Homo-oligomer: A and B are copies of this chain.
Amino acid sequence: MLQDVYPKLTLEIMDLVGNKWTLLLVYQLAERTQRFSELRRNMAPISQKMLTQKLRELERYGMVDRFVWPSTPPKVEYALTDLGRSFLGAASVICDWTRGNVEELAAARASFDAAAQEALSAA
């Protein structure tokens, strides 16, 4: 039965992609290993707190590796793991789907909103 299998699964997926930054962060790290400050620039306007938090989450999921260079000033690099790259492969399918259907989605929304507007003015 579908609903016995997917509830837990979808909740797991929400943890992975169900927020504003995670997917974008994975895409960013896919380009190359980056330091914290680089990431912050490239992910602007993300806050320090959010970036730290999302990086920890991804590290916890085994999708990102964290390398600390014990120097002064401190230097920390983040890189995608194999699991992270594997995830990116799957996630990019929806990204591509969305990109391929972005106009159709926009048209559907516009049509829906227009109908709602008309129903409103009819009343």
Q: Contacts A12-B98, A59-B112, A109-B60: A7 and B19 contacting too (C-beta < 8 A)?
A: no
How many identical subunits does the complex contain?
Answer: 2
Main SS class of interface, A: helix
Q: How many residues of A contact B (CB 8 A)?
A: 51
Q: Contacts A3-B43, A6-B27, A105-B62: A20 and B13 contacting too (C-beta < 8 A)?
A: no
- Please give, as numbers and ranges, the residues of chain B lying within 8 Å of A94 by CB-CB distance: 13, 16-17, 90-91, 93-94
Residues of A within 8 A of B (CB): 2-3, 5-7, 9-14, 16-20, 23-24, 27-28, 31, 42-43, 59-63, 83, 86-87, 89-91, 93-99, 101-102, 104-105, 107-109, 111-113
